[in-house]
Amino acid sequence: MKLILIFVICFSTNLLSAEKKILQKANNNLNDQASLQRGAMLFMNYCSGCHSMQYQRYQSVARDIGIPDELMENNLIFDKNSKIGDLMLSSLNKSQAEQWFGGVIPDLTMITRVKGVDWVFTYLNSFYKDDSRPFGVNNMISPNINMPHVLEELQGTTEINFKEKLIDGKMEIINEGIKSKGNGRLNEDEYLSSLRDLVNYLEYSSDPSKLKREKLGIWVMSFLILLIIFTFLLKKEFWKDIK
Ligand code: HEC
């Protein structure tokens, strides 16, 4: 029994590490406010048409990441019926989603907690042209997904880059990941940097109080250090005459 358990544990950690190797690192930085703002802009422009963020309000996002209310209202709320205090719901309703995309479109508030930041980053960099699919694209880490490659105008048309390599004396065809034809608005570095901003915003959304907690933490630590200094001085004062 124990042996089986050990075998299962070894096997599953092996699988995990195999997945880790495939994933690209997002290397995003939650303390970079400009990146969070660019990410929010990308989300509103390219994702909010289909995906909701039902646990977030426009106003809290604006305040957390330093966008003035007016700017948010005039430039980033595309749903005409929504006001700044409203929840970030998508204008697409369930039956439309089912009819057009054959299923439920997931809410993205918690997506980086469910899937991991690196997973979402890699997912958005894994679409490739596949004419057999309804939207003409497929995804390497989420095969046969029904989401169109909505960032194609930025990344360009992508294809899987197959290469022939000599392995142990045999020619084998290796999948070297996707490659853009270069017909997008951004080059590869710029595209990855935009994805970094986008997942940065998604990670912030999955735990908005993290930003506040970290700022508060610095104050709490400074207060504790000050308190230690004063208690130490007080102790010296008390014991001064007792000898
Ligand atoms: C045209 C509508 C549409 C837009 C715009 C869109 N998506 Fe999606 N997305 C979908 C659909 C549909 C699915 C679910 C597909 C399925 O389950 O087959 C999905 C699924 C996902 C998933 C889950 C993938 C998985 O395997 O679980 C993520 C993550 C995601 N979208 C991120 C984004 C991001 C980030 C953007 C903006 C850059 C975006 N989507 C824009 C339609 C859209």
**Dist CA 30 CA 28 (whole Å):** 7
* Mean pLDDT score, 182-205: 97
* Mean pLDDT score, 19-28: 80
* Mean pLDDT score, 69-91: 91
Q: Note the pTM of the prediction, 2 decimals.
A: 0.83
* Mean pLDDT score, 134-139: 94
For residue 138, report the distance from its CA to the centre of ligand 1, in Å: 12
**Dist CA 64 CA 203 (whole Å):** 13
* Mean pLDDT score, 93-105: 86
DSSP sequence for the chain: -HHHHHHHHHHHHHHHHHHHHHSPP----TT-HHHHHHHHHHIIIIITTT--EEEEEHHHHHHHTT--HHHIIIII---TT--TTSEE--SS-HHHHHHHHSSPPPP-TTHHHHH-HHHHHHHHT-EEE-TTSTTSEEESSSTT-----TTHHHH--EEEEEEEEEETTEEEEEEEEEEE-S-SSS-HHHHHHHHHHHHHHHHHHH-THHHHHHHHHHHHHHHHHHHHHHHHHHHHHHHTT--
Provide the pLDDT for residue 243: 66
Among protein residues, the one whose CA lies closest to atom 10 of ligand 1: 147
Q: What mean pLDDT value characterizes the chain? A: 89
pLDDT band with cut points at 50, 70 and 90 for residue 104? confident
CATH number of 21-232: 1.10.760.10
Residue ranges covered by each domain of the chain: 21-232
* Ligand 1 atom closest to 120 (CA): 29
Is the pLDDT at 151 greater than 90, yes or no? Answer: yes
**Dist CA 134 CA 147 (whole Å):** 9
Burial label, 196 (beta-carbon count in 10 A; 0-12, 13-18, 19+): buried
* Mean pLDDT score, 169-198: 92
For residue 105, report the distance from its CA to the centre of ligand 1, in Å: 7
Question: Is-contact 122 24, C-beta < 8 A?
Answer: yes
Provide the pLDDT for residue 136: 94
Question: Which range among 58-62, 168-172, 232-236 shows the weakest confidence by mean pLDDT?
Answer: 168-172
Residues with CB under 6 A from ligand 1: 46-47, 49-51, 101, 103, 105-106, 108, 111, 120, 123-124, 142, 145-148, 150-151, 198
* Mean pLDDT score, 211-225: 90
Among protein residues, the one whose CA lies closest to atom 14 of ligand 1: 105
